A and B are shown apart, each in its own frame.
Chain A
Amino acid sequence: MPWDRNQMAARAAEELEDGMYVNLGIGIPTLVANYVGDKDITLQSENGMLGMGPFPFEGEEDPDLINAGKQTITELARTSYFDSATSFGMIRGGKIAAAVLGAMEVSEQGDLANWMIPGKLVKGMGGAMDLVAGVGRVIVVMDHTNKHGESKVLKECTLPLTGKGVVDRIITNLGVLDVTPGGLRLVECAKGVARDDILSATEAKII
């Protein structure tokens, strides 16, 4: 059985180590926060906050307190606030240990495309280009194939890139792949998924 969204998030949470400062992207990456357990993880929200707390109780929403997905959130005892230039200073400066991000396509060289589909979807890159260029480790969490059943793990990305050679690890519903100098290396299969299942669902070369 392939992993569902929550199982993918739980697997991604295993990548995070005690004491890390981490940035989680929108979508499945946001769910990773639910699975960090006892680990002391500080979440960064790139609109200007370290120490992001859970969603507020109904009636306690504060319009001055949102995350990078524009959702209302809460603060924690450890929370600090800062401006956007300072926020991206810590991202670009390599102070954030890891980012967990969604993707439309990833290539076997670790190229990432997740910000636009020419002619169709022109929303913008937000902070994704800064994150992949600056953080210590980039972990992509996404479905292995698109809704047409085509591989999202490719020899070359077809969409405009967010970053070139920036992805370290890919966690999909089928398993875990590492980007290495020789190509993609299969690290782990989801329970009940065989190596051959992953090979046949992947356009990129797995060594």
Chain B
Amino acid sequence: MKKVFKTASEALDGLLKDGMLIAAGGFGLCGIPELLIDALVASGVRNLTVASNNAGVDDFGLGKLLATRQIKKMMSSYVGENAEFMRQYLSGELELEFNPQGTLAERMRAGGAGIPGFYTQTGVGTQIAEGKEVKQFNGKDYILEEGIFADLSIVKAWKADDTGNLVFRKTARNFNPPAAMCGKVCVAEVEEIVPRGSIDPDHIHLPGIYVHRLIQGNHEKRIEQRTVRKREEA
């Protein structure tokens, strides 16, 4: 079966439905599936629930899908960089489910691994625990969190082979592997697709079994907080 598609829009063809749950990789603007997000904007699909650690910035990443009001609900841990997000949330136009960052990552990983729920100490005694089952293990309280089973995963990797084996680069890996794992279908965008056999099998970060469709494209890779030091400080 051929996994490689020409464009992001072609790769998403037939997969989109209003009201669907999408898991997206990325942390801040690092390692986000920017081409697939643009294709979602162009598709006009609506009422989306998006599980993603952050919500982009106003004019880049998931911020674009917020600007067009295609997102109904976000499941995130930190949304502080996006003024339009804040406006929609405070005016009640957008639903927001805060998840502690590690809980969100584990909910995705668990969903992908067929685990519908797990207990964690994270959030015990806080708002996050409200309405959740509490269970004691070895005298300590833990809360029940549920696995995320997404309709679609969109992720960004550095390199892929044509069978969908993925290699990530530096901290751009972040949420991409767990997000990829938890979707019924996963579409990945990469900077380079190489022939099978040209990546050392021991160096593959995410096996192609999790990746159903694949595109290669040019990425802007915008930097959110450019911080540098002066040469003389070295």
Interface segment, one of B3-11, B38-46, B170-178, B209-217: B170-178
B98 touches A125 (CB 8 A): yes
Which residues of chain A come closer than 8 Å to B149, judged between CB atoms? none
Interface size, A (range)? 35 or more
B86 touches A88 (CB 8 A): no
B101 touches A85 (CB 8 A): no
Tell me if A's interface is mostly helix, strand, loop or mixed: loop
| Nearest-CB residue, chain A, relative to B206 | A83
B229 touches A56 (CB 8 A): yes
Find the residue from A49, A56, A75, A123 having the highest chain B CB count within 10 A. Answer: A123
Q: How far apart are the CA atoms of A20 and B230 in the complex, in Å?
A: 28
1/0 per position for A119-130, CB-CB distance to B under 8 A? Answer: 000111111111
Q: Which of A96-120 contact B (CB under 8 A)?
A: 111
A55 touches B228 (CB 8 A): yes
B122 touches A84 (CB 8 A): no
Find the residue from A47, A69, A72 having the highest chain B CB count within 10 A. Answer: A47
Asked, given contacts A125-B101, A134-B122, whether A61 binds B223 with beta carbons under 8 Å apart, the answer is yes
A46 at the interface (CB under 8 A from B): yes
Number of interface residues of B (CB under 8 A): 60
A50 smallest CB distance to B (angstroms): 11
Which residues of chain B come closer than 8 Å to A87, judged between CB atoms? 102, 105
Q: How far apart are the CA atoms of A71 and B30 in the complex, in Å?
A: 10
A138 smallest CB distance to B (angstroms): 13
Interface segment, one of A139-147, A160-168, A178-186, A188-196: A160-168
Q: Which of A56-97 contact B (CB under 8 A)?
A: 56-67, 69-73, 75, 81-85, 87-89, 91-92
Q: How far apart are the CA atoms of A158 and B112 in the complex, in Å?
A: 38
A122 touches B226 (CB 8 A): no
Q: Which of A148-178 contact B (CB under 8 A)?
A: 160-165
B106 at the interface (CB under 8 A from A): yes
B198 at the interface (CB under 8 A from A): no
Which residues of chain A come closer than 8 Å to B192, judged between CB atoms? none
B230 touches A124 (CB 8 A): no
Which residues of chain A come closer than 8 Å to B125, judged between CB atoms? 111, 161, 163-165
A24 at the interface (CB under 8 A from B): no
With beta carbons under 8 angstroms apart, the residue of B78, B100, B122, B177 that contacts A123 is B78
The 3 closest A-B pairs by CB, nearest first: A88-B102, A164-B125, A123-B80
Could you name 8 residue pairs across A and B whose Cβ atoms are closer than 8 Å? A46-B101, A49-B170, A62-B170, A70-B30, A82-B173, A84-B53, A85-B102, A161-B126
State the B residues within 8 Å of A (CB): 27-31, 53, 76-81, 86, 89-90, 96, 98, 100-106, 108-109, 120-128, 158, 168-178, 205, 221-231, 234
State the A residues within 8 Å of B (CB): 45-49, 54-67, 69-73, 75, 81-85, 87-89, 91-92, 111, 122-130, 133-134, 160-165
